[in-house]
């Protein structure tokens, strides 16, 4: 097992009892692929909500799944650590993905995620030309940009990557910082807007690429600065996107994430395709540290007005912990 803590006989039996029931094992398999709601799970398994909730409660009591609340929605996920989940993962690894039941669940999960992705994609396509204006409905973008620029600083970098680049605004903002810039987005409508904006600004050292934020068409360890600006709350698996962004960083590189703080505006799910209602300091910090980064700074930017729909924006800045080659040589010379 990945966890070094050992389990006693009674503990092992209790864990196996919790996991060793067909529906609960199917739930564990599904939750190993990302966070899901009870509604998601009832749709996939075709069982009633009370039945699914009862199984999830038993799995949570056995420390196999975690539950967290986002507004009116409760999300479940496979526990991130501990000997109980390590044993459960061994069971899942032994499962044959070609088994008819597992395969059917997996296919329904893929359909569910595609529906979500298509919904977000359609929203992006409808709003591509007005995307910056939509952002300004809730926060002062000028204040966010000023603070982000201050946090990243003015030291020139070789390579800069903006994920979910949208209109290309971040590439324009930091145009004087990088020698080579790359913006990646899944929406071709957004990419068309970004390219037009870069052309209009006369920026030729930045390129725009179509790509999946979970599987980037780029070489790893390549970028000195990576930004993810107001993207994570649209994603079904934001933690995976953070891990993929961290993979792009050169040794000593920095990742800046700009997103919404936790809020309770449920209408954003339907009206603006938000999947997550913001992120806490702790949640993002845990994801960054799990990806091998050290959090250097977290800043909350609260809107000037105190209306009920006012949203706070948070900026997280984290650094890759591997030493740059030049820094390593300098340390060796000093020693």
**pLDDT tens column, 70-109:** 667 788 988 877 889 889 999 999 999 899 999 999 999 9
3-state helix, strand, coil in the chain (%, to 5): 50, 20, 30
Cα–Cα–Cα angle for 83, 88, 89, nearest 5°? 95
Share of the chain above pLDDT 90, in %: 60
In this structure, are 37 and 156 located in the same domain? no
Confirm whether 288 is domain-assigned. yes
74 with 144, same domain: the answer is no
Q: Among 24-33, 137-146, 268-277, which is the least confidently predicted range?
A: 137-146
- Using DSSP's 3-state secondary structure scheme, residue 323 falls into coil
Can you tell me whether residue 228 is helix, strand or coil? strand
Lowest mean pLDDT among 63-72, 152-161, 206-215, 315-324: 63-72
Residue 68 sits in the same domain as residue 181: no
Lookup: tokens for 188: 């071709």
Q: Do 90 and 135 belong together in one domain?
A: no
Q: Which of 282, 278, 270, 318 is nearest to 301 (CA)?
A: 278
Expressed as residue numbers, the domain containing 28 is: 9-95
The more confidently predicted of residues 242 and 128 is 242
The pLDDT, as a whole number, for residue 130 is 59
Looking at residue 244, what is its pLDDT?
98
Task: Looking at the structure, tell me whether residues 165 and 50 fall in a common domain.
Answer: no
Q: What are phi and psi of 183, to 5 degrees?
A: -115, 135
Q: Is residue 114 part of a domain?
A: no
| Number of structural domains found in the chain | 2
Residue 151: pLDDT above 80? yes
Band of residue 271 on the pLDDT scale cut at 50, 70, 90: confident
Please list the residues that pair with 315 across neighbouring strands. Answer: 258, 299
Question: Is the same domain home to 152 and 255?
Answer: yes
Specify if 52 maps to a domain.
yes
Identify the pLDDT of residue 306: 66
Asked whether residue 1 is assigned to any structural domain, the reply reads no
Identify the three-state secondary structure at position 238: helix
Together in a domain, 79 and 183: no
Mean pLDDT of all residues in 175-185: 95
CA torsion 163-168-173-176 (nearest 10°) is 90
Give the pLDDT confidence score for residue 309 in this predicted structure.
Answer: 66
In a domain, 183, yes or no: yes
CA distance 141 to 137: 9
**Domain containing 43 — which CATH number?**
1.10.10.10
pLDDT above 80 for 305: no
Residue 178: in which H helix or E strand, if any?
Answer: strand 178-185
Verify that 71 and 137 share a domain, yes or no: no
Q: Check whether 328 has a pLDDT greater than 50.
A: no
Q: How confident is the model at residue 1 (pLDDT cuts 50, 70, 90)?
A: very low
According to the model, what pLDDT value does residue 131 have?
59
* Domain co-membership, 156 together with 290: yes
Beta-carbon contacts of residue 213 (< 8 Å; ≥ 6 apart)? 163, 164, 184, 186, 231, 235, 241, 244, 245
CB contact at 8 A, 228 and 256: yes
Question: 136 with 63, same domain?
Answer: no
Question: What is the reported pLDDT for 335?
Answer: 43
In a domain, 215, yes or no: yes
CA distance 310 to 263: 9
Query: Has residue 140 been placed in a domain?
Result: yes
Q: Per-residue pLDDT tens for 40-76?
A: 999 999 999 999 999 999 999 999 998 877 667 788 9
Residue 4 lies in a domain: no
| Mean pLDDT within 146-171 | 96
Query: For the residues 121-134, what does the mean pLDDT come to?
Result: 65
More confidently predicted of 205 and 271: 205
Please indicate, yes or no, whether residues 66 and 145 belong to a single structural domain of this protein.
no
Cα 246 from chain centroid (whole Å) = 11
CA dist., res. 261 & res. 311, Å (int): 7
- What is the average pLDDT across 261-284? 90
- Residue 169: the pLDDT is 95
DSSP for 7-40, please give it: --HHHHHHHHHHH-SHHHHHHHHHHTTS-EEHHH
Helices (H), 230-324: 238-248, 267-272, 281-290
pLDDT (tens digit per residue) in 6-26: 888 988 998 899 899 999 999
Predicted confidence at residue 124, as pLDDT, reads: 67
Residues 6+ apart with CB under 8 A from 63: 79, 82, 84, 85
Whether the CB-CB separation of 140 and 245 falls below 8 Å is answered with no
- Residue 233's CATH number: 3.40.50.150
Mean pLDDT within 152-163:
97
Long-range contacts of 42-45 (CB under 8 A, 24+ apart): 43/108, 43/112, 44/105, 44/108, 44/109, 44/112, 45/105
Question: How high is the mean pLDDT of the chain?
Answer: 88
Q: How far apart are CA 334 and CA 252, in angstroms?
A: 19
The H-or-E segment that residue 87 falls in is helix 83-94
Q: Is residue 209 scored above 60 in pLDDT?
A: yes
**Is the distance from CB of 253 to CB of 225 less than 8 angstroms?**
yes
Overall pTM > 0.85: no
Query: Are residue 72 and residue 158 in the same domain, yes or no?
Result: no
């Amino acid at each position: 097992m990945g966890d070094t803590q050992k389990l006693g006989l009674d503990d092992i039996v209790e864990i196996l009892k919790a996991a060793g029931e067909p529906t609960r094992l199917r739930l564990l398999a599904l939750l190993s692929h990302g966070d899901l709601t009870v509604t998601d799970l009832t749709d996939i398994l075709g069982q009633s909500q009370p039945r699914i909730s009862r199984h999830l409660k038993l799995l949570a009591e056995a420390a196999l799944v975690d539950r967290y609340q986002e507004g009116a929605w409760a999300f479940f996920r496979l526990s991130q650590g501990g000997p109980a989940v390590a044993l459960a993962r061994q069971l899942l690894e032994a499962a044959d993905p070609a088994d008819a039941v597992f395969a059917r669940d997996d296919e329904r999960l893929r359909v569910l995620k595609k529906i979500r992705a298509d919904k977000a994609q359609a929203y992006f396509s409808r709003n591509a030309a007005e995307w910056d204006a939509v952002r300004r409905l809730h926060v002062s973008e000028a204040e966010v940009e000023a603070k982000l620029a201050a946090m990243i600083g003015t030291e020139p970098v070789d390579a800069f990557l903006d994920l979910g680049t949208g209109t290309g605004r971040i590439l324009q903002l930091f145009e004087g910082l990088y020698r080579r810039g790359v913006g990646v987005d899944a929406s071709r409508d957004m990419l068309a807007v970004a390219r037009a904006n870069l052309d209009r600004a006369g920026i030729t050292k930045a390129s725009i690429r179509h790509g999946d934020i979970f599987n980037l068409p780029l070489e790893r360890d390549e970028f000195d600065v990576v930004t993810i600006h107001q993207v994570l709350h649209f994603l079904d698996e934001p933690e995976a996107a953070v891990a993929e962004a961290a993979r792009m960083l050169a040794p000593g590189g920095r990742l800046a994430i700009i997103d919404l703080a936790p809020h309770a505006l449920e209408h954003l799910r339907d009206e603006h395709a938000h999947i997550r209602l913001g992120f806490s300091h702790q949640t993002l910090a845990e994801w960054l540290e799990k990806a091998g980064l050290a959090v250097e700074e977290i800043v909350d930017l609260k809107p000037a007005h105190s209306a009920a729909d006012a949203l706070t924006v948070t900026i997280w800045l984290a650094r890759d912990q591997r030493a740059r080659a030049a820094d390593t040589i300098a340390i060796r010379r000093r020693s």
